[in-house]
């Protein structure tokens, strides 16, 4: 995802709408409280919060792709524009 997030189409959406925070879960041994709070049970989970710290949307990569192959910049940018 780091590569996709650096591509112009996705980077523009991120810059314009979000403050991105990356959480390193290590070997699944770090930030257990955060994982539990948001119900994260696998890596590459994304949570979108509003300014009041409420969950707006949450996804893993598979729902974004709909089983149609890898996440593309276009699919990811579209989800970021409307994550609900």
Q: Which residue has the higher pLDDT, 44 or 82?
A: 82
Q: What topology is assigned to 2-81 in CATH?
A: Glutaredoxin (3.40.30)
Task: Give the model's pLDDT for residue 59.
Answer: 82
pLDDT digits (tens, 9 = 90+) for 3-48: 888 999 999 998 888 888 888 888 889 999 999 998 888 877 888 8
Place of tokens 């925070």: 21
pTM higher than the cut 0.85: no
Beta strand extents in 1-84 (DSSP E only): 46-49, 55-59
Q: Calculate mean pLDDT across residues 56-75.
A: 77
Extract the tokens encoding 57. 């949307």
């Amino acid at each position: 995802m780091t590569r996709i997030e650096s591509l112009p189409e996705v980077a523009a959406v991120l810059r314009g709408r979000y403050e991105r925070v990356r959480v390193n879960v290590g070997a699944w041994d770090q930030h257990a409280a955060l994982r539990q709070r948001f119900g994260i049970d696998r890596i590459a989970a994304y949570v979108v919060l509003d300014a009041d710290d409420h969950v707006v949307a949450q996804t893993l990569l598979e729902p974004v792709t709909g089983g149609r192959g890898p996440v593309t910049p276009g699919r990811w940018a579209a989800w970021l524009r409307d994550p609900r």
